[in-house]
Amino acid sequence: MIGLISGKIFDVSEIGYFFWIGICLLLMLLLVSGCTYLLRQLQMVGMFIILLVLSLYLFLTDAIGLNVDKTSAFGTLQKFSPLQYLETLLNRILNGESNILILTFACIGVAIILIVSNLFVVKKEAAEGEGVHES
């Protein structure tokens, strides 16, 4: 549904609706499986990492109207932001550029790794003094 609505808004008829919907599904799968893995394995630290990545993306891009100097420390942080790579992929697709294969295959590879890693959950054993609560 999101792919259809955004495809209509961005008029992606020249690149194809099925391709656009596939990219939207891939990015959603990547983000959901990554956040799920972080929350299941690292709990509070995972939540901190998710919030850190989202806040760095929002404050270091042009999303809020600030122009970040590329040579500054903030520009270096912006270069290593994982969400910046996803934004670059979407911008290249919408601009009709043909050099999207490396980023697309990298997203597919990371999504596969995250899905497989979500299958294996490392359980920490409770200490003897703590009671185990069923939920």
Structural domain total, the chain: 1
Domain residue limits at 28: 2-116
pLDDT (tens digit, 9 = 90+) per residue, 80-122?
778 888 888 888 888 888 788 888 888 899 999 999 998 987 7
pTM score:
0.75
The answer to whether position 10 is within a domain reads: yes
The answer to whether position 123 is within a domain reads: no
pLDDT for the residue 36: 92
The answer to whether position 97 is within a domain reads: yes
pLDDT for the residue 64: 58
What are the structure tokens assigned to 88, written together? Answer: 């670059």
pLDDT (tens digit, 9 = 90+) per residue, 3-37?
888 888 888 877 788 888 888 899 999 999 999 99
